């Protein structure tokens, strides 16, 4: 049995997030600029290479894989990859295979995802108003995403909605979104907008809606009970007693939960980022491509990379300027 992956701050690494493409069929204003340039296809790891990469992480103790992007479901033949990963679920080595998606392709793929062993999916949705949805995603259509969510639930997938909290944009929808999720038995997580990548003319501070404020507003309508942390992730959860719903808060700006971080992120080109909010990374593609017949160099490269995991990120808006900004986009590292 291989030694588990432990970082320099004694945190076990059991969770890998994999961005399988930097491309997307939406252009959300907080994530991308309208005219994004994407990586040439030859830079991307092939699906076979992604399989080798992920399988090696699973061998080294990763128990949870989250597939993300860009939009993971626009990558050609991506279902083949999910199907191949299901062997690690069958063997018991992998406890969870899941994805984060904008939902646009879910109607097409929900059943195949379920059949590959996916049981939960996070769908990103920031508004229930069609016009606002078209504005925030630039290219998206709300109806298509709602149909995707319906298909996912019908296929037996548990859906969690992720909404980015955006000042002056979805503040007025706090209760409507909460109720809509409650009616459909979906949990909901709010995310503070993070300073990732150049997004054109949009201003991060103008977009930033502090989640402490959002939580106070929920308390005006609901009985809110804090729940103990169980995920080892950056989200903190409450339960709304009236609906029984779990509401999560990802607050990298107002609270930093890096001490319990258990995750690393693989990009679609094979770079491993040890923290969403730092530049430390390692190129694993070389170790993979230069040694097609043995996984040992890749295992060594992964172990060395984990030793570079920093203590935490430096995102900070508290001085009314954007501190800790990352030059790369969320779609590159995988949100
Ligand atoms: N396309 C998929 C989706 O939208 O769910 C997966 C990739 S997307 C980069 C993953 C998550 O990152 C989404 O929930 C999105 O809202 C979030 N995100 C993107 N840019 C962000 C930013 N600057 N700050 C906070 N969250 C962001
Ligand atoms: Fe695409 Fe997701 Fe980024 Fe929106 S948040 S542009 S859907 S990658």
CATH number for 197: 3.20.20.70
Confidence class for position 283, pLDDT limits 50, 70, 90 = very high
Residue 233 belongs to domain spanning: 15-333
Residue 108 placed within a domain: yes
The number of folded domains in the chain is 1
Verdict on whether the full-model pTM lies above 0.85? yes
Which residues line ligand 1 at a C-beta cut-off of 6 Å? Answer: 24, 30-31, 68-69, 71, 100-102, 124, 162, 164, 191, 193-194, 196, 330-331, 335
99 C-alpha to ligand 1 centroid (Å): 12
Q: Do the strands 235-240 and 224-226 form a parallel or antiparallel pair, or are they unpaired?
A: antiparallel
Confidence class for position 230, pLDDT limits 50, 70, 90 = low
List phi, psi (to 5°) of 266: -105, 130
Residue 275 placed within a domain: yes
Nearest to 264 by CA among 222, 301, 230: 301
278 C-alpha to ligand 2 centroid (Å): 20
pLDDT digits 0-9 by tens, 138-195: 999 999 999 999 999 999 999 999 999 999 999 999 999 999 999 999 999 999 888 7
Residue 114 placed within a domain: yes
**1 pLDDT above the threshold of 70:** no
24 C-alpha to ligand 1 centroid (Å): 11
Rounded to whole angstroms, the Cα distance separating 268 from 67 reads 11
The residue to mutate among 17, 19, 23, 26, having the most atoms of ligand 2 within 8 angstroms of its beta carbon, is: 26
Residue 4 placed within a domain: no
Residue 310 placed within a domain: yes
């Amino acid at each position: 049995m291989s030694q588990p992956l432990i970082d320099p701050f004694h945190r076990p690494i059991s969770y890998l997030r994999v961005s399988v493409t930097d491309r997307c069929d939406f252009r959300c204003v907080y994530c991308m600029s309208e005219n994004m340039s994407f990586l040439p296809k030859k830079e991307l790891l092939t699906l076979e290479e992604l399989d080798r990469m992920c399988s090696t992480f699973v061998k080294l103790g990763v128990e949870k894989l989250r597939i993300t992007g860009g939009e993971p479901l626009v990558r050609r033949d991506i279902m083949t990859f999910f199907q191949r990963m299901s062997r690690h679920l069958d063997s018991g080595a992998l406890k969870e295979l899941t994805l984060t998606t904008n939902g646009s392709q879910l109607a097409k793929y929900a059943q195949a995802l379920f059949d590959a062993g996916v049981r939960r999916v996070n769908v990103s949705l920031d508004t229930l108003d069609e016009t606002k949805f078209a504005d925030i995603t630039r290219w998206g259509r709300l109806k298509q995403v709602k149909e995707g969510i319906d298909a996912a639930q019908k296929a037996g997938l548990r859906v969690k909605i992720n909404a980015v909290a955006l000042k002056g944009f979805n503040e007025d929808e706090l209760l409507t979104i909460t109720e809509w999720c409650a009616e459909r038995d979906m949990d909901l997580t709010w995310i503070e907008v993070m300073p990732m990548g150049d997004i054109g003319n949009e201003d991060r501070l103008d977009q930033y809606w502090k989640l402490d404020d959002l939580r106070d507003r929920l308390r005006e309508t609901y009985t809110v009970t804090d729940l103990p942390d169980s995920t080892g992730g950056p989200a903190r959860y409450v339960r709304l007693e009236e609906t029984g719903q779990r509401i999560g808060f990802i607050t990298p700006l107002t609270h930093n939960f890096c001490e319990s971080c258990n995750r690393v992120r693989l990009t679609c080109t094979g770079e491993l980022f040890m923290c969403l909010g730092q530049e430390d990374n390692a190129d694993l593609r070389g170790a993979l491509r230069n040694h097609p017949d043995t996984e040992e160099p890749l295992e060594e490269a992964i172990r060395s990379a984990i030793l570079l995991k920093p203590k935490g990120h430096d995102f900070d808006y508290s001085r009314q300027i954007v501190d800790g900004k990352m030059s790369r986009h969320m779609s590159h590292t995988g949100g």
